[in-house]
């Protein structure tokens, strides 16, 4: 059955911008975060404390996290792959952090420079230290519906990594179709495998729209009871070096779908669409939200 309320995790300021080759000013990121909050988004992933050599665009994570005009009732979160990242994030008073692993061995190696087993070993002290500081930890699992290097990924592998992260203390596991290759039945099958170990209310869907399947996949997992959805305003994102790669499913499109299904979000779609229009103009990118484009035209 469909959930009554869905919490959106807005990742535009992080996932949406991390691959942007042109520098985006801290000021622009802060305005984006502020506008998203004004539109009613209650959870904003604002920055990533990763190596600036690996991801230069997130190099101002500290400035972003400390510059936010925090609004009550909104969680501002950041990615922290290791202790160094967590220490940086804690210094800024971060409310929540996230560690990120994957169900594919080669993707883990390319993304965070270690094996799956090593990544889990590294996350253990990060989770422990965050919990001691009273900061909840979200866990990402990437490549849940396919890997750019290994192709098909077994649902059992996704379940295994998710279960480990959950047992290590992540309060929620976000299932990432990193390259957007999934289709609805595949998404359902993967979710069912994970749900054998983790309750549905502890799982989130993080779908990219590379093959135009993200909304269909979301519909499929919403039907199964998923009630947390990661998305990025205007569908921001995409790797400039991977041909055809695109961003997360657009937040505006997700909100339109949810409201049409009678599912509450507490998000003001007009303000969200205006935010998507503003940020895409600011960074000179096409608006990849169909709903956003239609709203601004009408
Ligand atoms: P490494 O090179 O193995 O780490 O990288 P290291 O510990 O050997 O450190 C190497 C250098 O990086 C050192 O600097 C460290 O100080 C520095 P040097 O001595 O050479 O000058 N360093 C750091 N600097 C700042 N912050 C830190 C940090 N850690 C080390 N936290 C590491 C390992 C994980 C750091 C690296 O591989 C990395 O930063 N990777 C980033 C990967 C990334 O950000 N990917 C995108 C996010 S994941 C994603 O988008 C998927 C998701 O959206 C879900 C989905 O769609 O599926 C979440
Ligand atoms: Mg992603």
Q: Which ligand is nearest to the CA of 140?
A: 1
Mean pLDDT over each residue of the chain, to the nearest integer: 96
Confidence of residue 133 (pLDDT cuts 50, 70, 90): very high
Query: Terminus-to-terminus CA distance in the chain, angstroms?
Result: 33
Q: What is the pTM of this model?
A: 0.98
Confidence of residue 246 (pLDDT cuts 50, 70, 90): confident
Centre of ligand 2 from the C-alpha of residue 180, in Å: 9
Taking CA atoms only, the protein residue closest to ligand 1 atom 53 is 15
The rounded percent of the chain whose pLDDT value lies above 90 is 96
Residue of 13, 49, 50 best suited for mutating to test ligand 1, as the one with most atoms within 8 Å of CB: 50
Q: How far apart are CA 107 and CA 165, in angstroms?
A: 17
Confidence of residue 130 (pLDDT cuts 50, 70, 90): very high
Task: Please report the DSSP string for 252-284 in residue order.
Answer: HHHHHHHHHTT-B----HHHHHHHHHHHHHHTT
Q: What is the mean pLDDT of residues 265-292?
A: 97
Where are any strands of DSSP class E within 103-202?
137-142, 172-177
Confidence of residue 116 (pLDDT cuts 50, 70, 90): very high
Residues having CB closer than 6 A to ligand 1 are: 15, 18, 48-51, 54-55, 81-82, 84-85, 100, 111-113, 140, 142, 176, 178, 206, 208
pLDDT at 298 over 90: no
What does the CA dihedral 252, 229, 10, 267 come to, rounded to 10 degrees? 50
Tokens representing residue 82 in the block: 């290791």
pLDDT of residue 238: 75
Q: How far apart are CA 205 and CA 9, in angstroms?
A: 10
Q: What is the pLDDT of residues 20-76, one digit of tens each?
A: 999 999 999 999 999 999 999 999 999 999 999 999 999 999 999 999 999 999 999
pLDDT at 181 over 60: yes
Centre of ligand 2 from the C-alpha of residue 231, in Å: 9
pLDDT at 153 over 60: yes
Q: What is the pLDDT of residues 212-245, one digit of tens each?
A: 999 999 999 999 999 999 999 999 997 655 566 7
Centre of ligand 2 from the C-alpha of residue 230, in Å: 9
Centre of ligand 2 from the C-alpha of residue 81, in Å: 14
pLDDT at 102 over 90: yes
ipTM over 0.90: yes
Catalytic residues: 239
């Amino acid at each position: 059955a469909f959930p009554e309320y869905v919490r959106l995790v807005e990742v535009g300021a992080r996932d949406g911008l991390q691959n942007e080759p042109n520098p985006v000013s801290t000021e622009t990121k802060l305005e984006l975060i502020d506008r998203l909050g004004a539109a009613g988004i209650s959870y904003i992933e604002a920055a990533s404390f990763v190596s600036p050599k690996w991801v230069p665009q997130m190099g101002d994570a500290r400035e972003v996290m400390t510059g936010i005009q925090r609004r009550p009732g909104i969680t501002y979160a950041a990615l922290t792959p290791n202790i160094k990242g967590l220490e940086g994030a804690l210094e800024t008073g971060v409310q929540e952090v996230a560690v990120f692993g994957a169900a594919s061995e080669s993707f883990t190696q390319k993304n965070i420079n270690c094996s799956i087993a090593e990544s889990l070993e590294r996350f253990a002290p990060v989770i422990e230290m965050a919990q001691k500081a009273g900061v909840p930890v979200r866990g990402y699992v990437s490549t849940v519906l396919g890997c750019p290097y290994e192709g098909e990924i077994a649902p059992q592998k996704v379940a295994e990594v998710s279960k480990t992260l959950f047992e290590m203390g992540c309060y929620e596991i976000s299932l990432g179709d990193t390259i957007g290759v999934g289709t609805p039945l595949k998404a359902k099958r993967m979710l069912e495998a994970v749900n054998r170990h983790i309750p549905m209310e502890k799982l989130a869907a993080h779908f990219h729209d590379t093959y135009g399947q993200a909304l269909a996949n979301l519909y499929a997992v919403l039907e199964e009871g998923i009630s947390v959805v990661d998305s990025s305003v205007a569908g921001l994102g995409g790797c400039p070096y991977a041909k055809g790669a695109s961003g997360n499913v657009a937040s505006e499109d997700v909100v339109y779908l949810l409201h049409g299904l009678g599912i509450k979000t507490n998000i003001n779609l007009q303000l969200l669409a205006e935010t998507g229009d503003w940020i895409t103009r600011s960074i000179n990118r096409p608006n990849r939200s169909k709903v956003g484009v239609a709203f601004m035209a009408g």
